Chain A
Amino acid sequence: MGSGHHHQLYRPGDTPVHRLPPQCKLAAVAGFALVVVATPREWLWAFGLYALLLAAVAAAARVPPSFLLRRMMVEIPFVVFAVALPFIGFGERVSFLGMSFSVAGLWAAWNILAKATLGVIASVLLAATTEPRLMLLGAQRLRLPPLLVQIAMFMLRYMDVIVDEMRRMRVARESRGFAARNVRHIPVVARSAGALFIRSYERGERVHLAMLSRGYSGSMPVIQDLSASSRQWLVAGMLPGAALVVLLGSWGLA
């Protein structure tokens, strides 16, 4: 987790991808990710076709490649892990440029890199074309428990507030010459965490009282019409559908 990846999630736009109902997009991305994970790693060209499918979606949604690349930073820890695999894996080894690689480790690294990258791009595209609130409402239409959706909505709504409080505390610490360098500095960081918890909890209590005074009775009113036509389901189904065709096609060939 890096800091500051909580902005520019959503890219406003008015493309066919943006206009699709959120529940269709959620189901499509989940289906696509499942097909990708189920693909045997030896079918190299199938992964190429998946990447082309995602590129087509990105083009339709007018999401520039630079945006995708920036948002793919979250993958870096696993890239490091995957790069290490050919060296620490065991079994038959091949030499290349004077270094010795494990064959099985190379396959595993390719497997993780390819599938994780495709999954990350699909998620980034989903988040870029769907307003966060609508995404959760779409999840609710897909039978996610309403209480869970409400919790997630409160989290989304107040995340920036809490993160900003923490940033202000960090600025205050650093402007007094503090930097956490070794274990002895942990108590200072932890006291900030304690203060942050009390602030978050007390804010939660105030929010709850404010909700009660506005007539909250356990469920939030939904004013958007989120029904999806079968045509929209069909359009959204094109991504996992095409991926499935690729999977079955390469299975038939092999």
Chain B
Amino acid sequence: MHVPDGFFNVAVSLSAGVVAAAGVAVCLRGARRELDDRTAPMAGLVAAFIFAVQMLNFPVAAGTSGHLLGGALAAILVGPYTAVLCVAVVLLVQGFFFADGGLTALGVNVTLMGVVAVVVGWTVFRMITRAVRNRGAVVAASFVAALLSVPATALAFTLLFWIGGTAPIEVGTVAAAMGGVHVLIGIGEGLITAVTVSTVLAIRPDLVYGARGLAAPLVLRGADGEAVVAQGAPAPAAVRRPGWFLPAGIVVAALLAGVVSFYASSSPDGLERVAEDKGFSSQAADHALGEQPLADYGDAGGIPVGVAGLIGVGVTLAVGGGLFFAVRRRTKDDTAKDEVSA
């Protein structure tokens, strides 16, 4: 998923860089609230953890394997701001030291794998854990959040590719291919994230940021009755923050859905655009290389209809939405049962 140089034109690379810089700036402030003066060592170690975990290949289906993106996992374990910072630092180090991901594509990479994956993952996670508050819901929410964060990242990539990509592929096809493959990878990511979160919950529940406020209040039982000791600061902070994240996440989701559905419904527009681009590039080619048979390219191009894109998006929504509703319904049943038993 690490985009190299040359995938996107200069305009998109630079504007994605601006978006990424703004996101990192917001997170630098937010992470101080999550970790106070421990930010540098803690975020550094968590970034090293993400780097190590990204090397962890897991089997997806017969013969293929994927590796973890880790955005949703980091958000649930250490909080969204710290997560964006950690992923951004991982990408920075990979770009500068390992030549993994292009330097001009750094903004694109941070925007996609850092900001989009974490915001989508954390929003979904909060939506579910706000509705139901128990340990099972945290694990289920981790699964759904990680599952959805991967195709969301892939669709955001497709969106950027449509705006400023350098290859002549029909966007519907790209969206379908990316969406389809990444739903599969997302299932693996969701499984790993959920089991990892439940493991940490079992051993050190206090370390899971997303499960703060779940712990039962400390009750002191003395000779003269019980006294509930007030919880520390983390609980109110965890409740206050989502108010800002929820609308942002909805905007991102709406943007993705809106643009993708626009694509599916009006593919001739997309084709026109590509044809325009090609006409333009054929001019440049004429200057440099003499005759280039690209001029009638737009007419010759077959029209792979955006139906493929629609299918890809539909699959994503069906799988994600189905899981979401399954979880919700079960929890409703749970609460109903609770009421009955109470």
Contacts and interface: CB of A to CB of B under 8 A. Distances in A.
Contacts of B93: 152, 155-156, 159
Nearest to A194: B199
A104 interface: yes
A201 B103 contact: no
Interface in A217-244: 218
A92 B59 contact: no
Interface in B32-75: 37-49, 51-62, 67-68, 73
B192 interface: yes
A50 B223 CA distance: 82
A192 B104 CA distance: 35
Contact of B48 (A34, A74, A155, A190): A155
B4 interface: yes
Interface residues of B, number: 94
B288 A103 contact: no
Contacts of A30: 103-104
A72 B99 CA distance: 8
A27 to B, nearest CB: 11
A154 interface: yes
A83 B130 CA distance: 47
Interface string A28-42: 011001101110111
A208 B104 contact: no
Q: Describe B's contact surface by its main secondary structure.
A: helix
Interface in B155-180: 166-170, 173
Given A33-B5, A115-B5, A154-B41, A190 B199 contact: yes
Interface stretch (B213-221, B231-239, B253-261, B294-302): B294-302
A211 interface: yes
Nearest to A122: B103
Contacts, number: 305
A208 B204 contact: no
Contacts of A102: 168
Q: How large is the interface on A (under 10, 10 to 19, 20 to 34, 35 or more residues)?
A: 35 or more
A148 B89 contact: yes
Given A29-B103, A104-B297, A108-B168, A148 B44 contact: no
B287 interface: yes
A207 B92 CA distance: 22
Interface in A137-194: 139, 145, 147-148, 150-159, 161-163, 165-166, 180-183, 185-187, 189-194
A54 B38 CA distance: 41
Interface stretch (B6-14, B120-128, B327-335): B6-14
Nearest to A43: B288
Nearest to B174: A88
Given A104-B278, A190-B199, A183 B59 contact: yes
Contacts of A71: 99
B85 interface: yes
A125 to B, nearest CB: 9
Given A90-B302, A197-B196, A218 B67 contact: no
Nearest to B55: A3
B248 interface: no
A124 to B, nearest CB: 5
B285 A152 contact: no
A200 B40 contact: no
B288 A254 contact: yes
Interface of A: 1, 3, 5-6, 9, 26, 29-30, 33-34, 36-38, 40-43, 71-72, 74-75, 78, 85, 88-92, 102-105, 107-109, 111-116, 118-120, 122-124, 126-127, 132, 135, 139, 145, 147-148, 150-159, 161-163, 165-166, 180-183, 185-187, 189-198, 200-201, 203-205, 207-208, 211, 218, 250, 254
23 contacts: A33-B104, A37-B5, A90-B301, A105-B168, A108-B167, A112-B7, A112-B166, A119-B4, A123-B103, A135-B97, A151-B40, A154-B43, A156-B97, A166-B53, A180-B57, A187-B191, A189-B56, A193-B196, A197-B200, A200-B48, A204-B42, A204-B44, A207-B45
Given A90-B168, A123-B95, 19 more contacts: A37-B9, A37-B10, A40-B284, A43-B288, A78-B4, A85-B167, A103-B293, A115-B102, A119-B5, A126-B96, A155-B47, A163-B48, A166-B53, A180-B59, A190-B196, A191-B195, A193-B53, A195-B199, A254-B287
